[in-house]
A and B are shown apart, each in its own frame.
Chain A
Amino acid sequence: MEIGGWDIAAALAKAVTYAATFGAAGAVLFLLYGRALLRDRQRTLVRRLIGILVGAAAAAGILRILLLAGSMSGEFAGMFDRTFASMILAAGEGRSTGVRMAGLAVMLFAFSMNPVLSRSAGLGAIAASTSFAWVGHIHGLVPNTAAALLLSLHLLCVAFWLGALPPLLIIAAGTNLSQTAAAAARFGKLALRVVALLLAAGASLLLMLIGHAAQFWSSDYGRMMAIKLLAVAALLGAAAWNKLHLTPRLLKGDARAGQMFRRSLLVEMSIGALILLTTAALTTLTGPP
């Protein structure tokens, strides 16, 4: 496929959509399982973060549709061509965007003081983060039900993992080391299972999309996937360091471990951003061989 500025812009918009959606969803889930770990002011900060990310995800999602429409004609006016937009929306992007917008809206219930409503934000988090499974390469598989389920599981796990990092950073930025230790330990325990599911689902999908090992290295998709897998390996390394080395030191009250934990979270967030950028490029600019 010929790749130009429009395609790169559409891929960047997709990366922002991913980051904001998973960030918001993960923060909502964190409020649900980690509520007791947060102080009032930190809870307010997390809710504010959810609001900002929900807005960013909605805006980036709409911008991406406009950019895809623009990329079809290669002209600015094409962005607002109804025929192009309706073609894109009719081919699956409409379902995906609709589910995501609904999920983002429900996530705003995280601001509610009503406990039933605020808990329902979790449903919004699930809908929004799995919305990306309604369109894309897996829909070229026959049948695709299993792939859609695996992808939904993979996406939910991504939201849980990457979306928890900003709330953890909010906690770690405070001066209460025991609070940081408790949050790291709680998240680490849950993350062990979530990461296992994420990797298993991801590996299965990769097998489905790239049937033969030879095609992995001979295709643009395979080579770009290799970059993503390297980044995932780096992220796993950082997460393992946190769990096995820093968390025990935090639990013992090691102040220096607190500083290292904050830096480690920033490193994880940076690698996470690279993974989402690579995934956006994979799903926009290339296709399975």
Chain B
Amino acid sequence: MLKNSLLALVVCGVIAAGPCMAHAKLQSSSPANNAHLTEAPKTLTLNFSEAAKLAMLKLVRDGKEIAVPLDKDAKAGQTFTLTLPTLTPGNYTVQWAAVAADDGHVTKGSFAFSIA
């Protein structure tokens, strides 16, 4: 009886499973990673693999942080577009942290771009 119940539970579990999603990964950004730009971008866009809340974003140039307004109360989404201040030529690094809406995991990363 126990063995049959166990088998039924396992079979039901496997049949009931659907497609699997992982942590919220940054799929693309604008500017793209390692992009060399001739003009300063006006916005910064991050596209994630699944819905997440963008918890932190830092824009750094030559070790100095540049303030970028971030609405931490914004709803979870896959795409975030932030307005940038006027940027001068140089090498920039964007550091971000997000919390996935479905599994609650924190993911972090960074990407870089330059303005000639």
Contact = CB atoms under 8 A, between A and B. Distances in A.
B13 A149 contact: yes
Interface in B63-116: 72-73, 95, 97, 99-110
A114 B54 CA distance: 50
A87 B95 CA distance: 18
A72 B22 contact: no
A200 B19 contact: no
Nearest to A82: B72
Interface in B11-52: 12-14, 16-23, 25, 50
A289 interface: yes
B9 A72 contact: no
A209 B20 contact: yes
A210 B19 CA distance: 10
Interface residues of B, number: 36
Contacts of A208: 13-14, 17, 20
A2 B109 CA distance: 6
Contacts of A92: 103-104
Contact of B103 (A1, A139, A193, A211): A139
A197 B95 CA distance: 44
B72 A87 contact: yes
A193 B16 CA distance: 24
A141 B17 contact: yes
Contact of A143 (B10, B16, B97): B16
B54 to A, nearest CB: 9
Contact of A71 (B18, B72, B73, B108): B108
Is chain A's interface secondary structure helix, strand, loop, or mixed overall? helix
Contacts of B73: 83
Interface residues of A, number: 49
Contacts of B107: 1
Contacts, number: 120
Contacts of B109: 1-2
A54 to B, nearest CB: 24
A233 interface: no
Contacts of A7: 108
Interface string A175-211: 0000000000000000001001100110111011111
Contacts of A210: 20
A202 to B, nearest CB: 10
A135 interface: yes
Contacts of B102: 139-140
A248 interface: no
Contacts of A145: 16
Nearest to B23: A287
Contact of A73 (B14, B21, B97): B97
Given A200-B6, A209-B20, A71 B97 contact: yes
Interface in A81-131: 83-84, 87-88, 91-93
Interface string A128-159: 00000001111111110111011001000000
Nearest to A73: B56
Contacts of B95: 74
Given A87-B72, A147-B13, A208-B13, A140 B21 contact: yes
Given A2-B110, A72-B108, A141-B17, 15 more contacts: A2-B109, A83-B73, A84-B55, A87-B55, A140-B21, A140-B50, A140-B100, A145-B16, A147-B13, A149-B13, A150-B9, A193-B2, A207-B14, A210-B20, A288-B22
18 contacts: A71-B97, A78-B56, A83-B72, A83-B73, A87-B72, A88-B106, A91-B103, A92-B103, A137-B22, A140-B21, A143-B18, A145-B16, A146-B16, A147-B16, A149-B13, A208-B20, A284-B105, A287-B105
